[in-house]
Amino acid sequence: MQDSLIKEIAAVVGPKYILTGEEDRWCYAYDATDLTYLPDLVVFPGSAEEISGIVKLANQHRFPVVPRGAGTGRAGGSVPVRGGVVLVMTRLNRILEINPEDMLAVVEPGVITGVLKRAVAEQGLYYPPDPGSADYCTIGGNVAAGAGGAMAVQYGVTRDYVLGLEVVLPTGEIIEAGARTFKSVVGYDLTRLMLGSEGTLGVITRIILRLAPQPASRLSLAAGFSSLDAALTAVGQVLHSGLIPTAIEFMDRATLDCVREMLPFKLPPQVTALLLFMLDGHPRDVASRVKRLGQLCKQAGAQLLLQAKDEAEAERLWAARRAISPATFKVKPHKVSEDVAVPLGAIPLLVAGAEDIARQRDLPIICFGHAGDGNIHVNIMFDQSQPREREAAHAATEDLFALVGRLRGTLSGEHGIGLTKAPYIGLELSPAALALQKRLKQAFDPQNIMNPGKIFPAAGTPAGL
Ligand SMILES: Cc1cc2nc3c(=O)[nH]c(=O)nc-3n(C[C@H](O)[C@H](O)[C@H](O)COP(=O)(O)OP(=O)(O)OC[C@H]3O[C@@H](n4cnc5c(N)ncnc54)[C@H](O)[C@@H]3O)c2cc1C
């Protein structure tokens, strides 16, 4: 990037809010994938107006602008694949309003999700979306990625809590979408369009979030089974029972091997699949629902039932759940981490299919995740330095996506398409649907400056390859 252009950008945000040194720029070259691309410049804007100024320069000089929250994305969304400016949102980190009467909060995009959750809890309110990365990811990143999490069974996902947005469009205009009301149907739903748009349709600069009342109590229960089939049968029965757990997570045998010593209890050797439940509500009601839940699990063949006796023990259970992703690297140094989702009835077929793929491709595959909503994390483990394993991991990913298609599922339940899944998007979207999505992108961003190279496969890439 030319010095004169860097000076123009520095004039918009102030020279102390840009990074030009190569060693500094490398710190903003990656996310939670293995992908790394060096940006030409890193910029920390302090307002929507400053972002608008940078975006206008980007249109004038044709450089890419890549919004970045905390860089915890799992699809390469904030990786600057075509260089340009990485726009880091960490300065925009104010909670502007928590309004108990209207049951909403207004925040800037760089607020850390966990910080917001704790701030609203102090006022007796609850922001339910709970991605495993909540302690370090940003609300802006959650909205742009369409983040989910464990609480989706009862409470839904980020998408269900966003009432309105302020957005700097790729052309530099600043718009407001949505409203401060729980219902609004005025014109097209631009708020929803921005949800999961992965920084390709604009930079989100303010977010109005719906809040729920803080539940009076919570209980967590772990149920161990001697087979995955039995565990998944229990999930189906619980979902039909009307008990409405807040969360239902599952871990297969390979997952348990990774986090066994983090659990607050010793697992008997015959337990090869674990379910984790959380329920919330009035204490008496929760206690009776947990009891019934335990009975259902027993009927489905549970060998072990453990109710967390206090908050600390419950936290150890959920900390083990949150630790799964990093712990999988005990198995192999690299992984393809997919977050496919299938209709509820197809979860056992997906997990059995993943086991088949592991056998056929001779690679470990670890399955865990959100059994209550069909969003299963399938981790294909491999060693990048071994050509056979690299190729097998690629082939296993294609096998997995083909399986998900047969089960009428979706390529991504919560991480988005970004860079990693762009070559496969044609497996799910028809040519006409894909063409319409590209026309939308073109209408928002005629010069393709906003996070180019994401979601849509690069020109010349055949669909599904
Ligand atoms: C250990 C671990 C556990 C995880 N668990 C979960 C989970 O349970 N559920 C889940 O859904 N995800 C999970 N994730 C993935 C990730 O944390 C989420 O996708 C999160 O929403 C990303 O937020 P971020 O602030 O890190 O965004 P980034 O990674 O910085 O960016 C993500 C995308 O959003 C865009 N973006 C960021 N900010 C803005 C903005 N202000 N305006 C426009 N576009 C923007 C970026 O360009 C990029 O495309 C996990 C990740 C890790 C590492």
Q: Is residue 412 lining ligand 1, measured as CB closer than 6 Å? A: no
- Ligand 1 atom closest to the CA of 142, numbered from 1: 21
- At 261-275, the pLDDT tens digits run 888 888 898 999 999
Beta strands in 375-432 (DSSP E): 375-382
CB atoms within 10 A of CB 349: 16
- At 118-165, the pLDDT tens digits run 999 999 999 999 999 999 999 999 999 999 999 999 999 999 999 999
Distance CA(187)–CA(23), nearest Å, equals: 46
For residue 455, the CA-to-ligand 1 centroid distance in Å is: 15
Q: What is the pLDDT of residue 462?
A: 47
Distance CA(162)–CA(265), nearest Å, equals: 38
| pLDDT at position 332 over 70 | yes
| pLDDT at position 463 over 80 | no
Residue 339 has which token pair?
């977050």
Among protein residues, the one whose CA lies closest to atom 46 of ligand 1: 78
- DSSP H or E stretch at residue 349: helix 347-361
174-178: strand order across its sheet: 95-99, 104-107, 203-210, 162-168, 174-178
Q: What is the pLDDT of residue 461?
A: 55
- At 138-149, the pLDDT tens digits run 999 999 999 999
Confidence band of 464 (pLDDT split at 50, 70, 90): very low
Counting ligand 1 atoms within 8 A of each CB, the residue from 86, 130, 137 with the most, and so the one to mutate, is 137
Residue 344 has which token pair?
């509820």
- Ligand 1 atom closest to the CA of 205, numbered from 1: 41
- Ramachandran sector of residue 376 (left: φ over 0; alpha: ψ -120 to 50; beta: rest): beta
Counting ligand 1 atoms within 8 A of each CB, the residue from 37, 43, 78 with the most, and so the one to mutate, is 78
For residue 4, the CA-to-ligand 1 centroid distance in Å is: 33
| Angle, helices 228-241/347-361, rounded to nearest 10 degrees | 160
Q: Is residue 457 lining ligand 1, measured as CB closer than 6 Å? A: no
Residue 374 has which token pair?
């069909």
Q: Is residue 142 lining ligand 1, measured as CB closer than 6 Å? A: yes
| pLDDT at position 460 over 60 | no
Beta bridge partners of 225: 273
Distance CA(232)–CA(210), nearest Å, equals: 32
- At 382-414, the pLDDT tens digits run 999 999 999 999 999 999 999 999 999 999 999
Closest by CA position to 377, among listed 386, 365, 367, 387: 367
Rounded to the nearest 5 percent, the helix, strand and coil shares of the chain are 40, 20, 40
Radius of gyration of the chain (CA): 22
For residue 294, the CA-to-ligand 1 centroid distance in Å is: 35
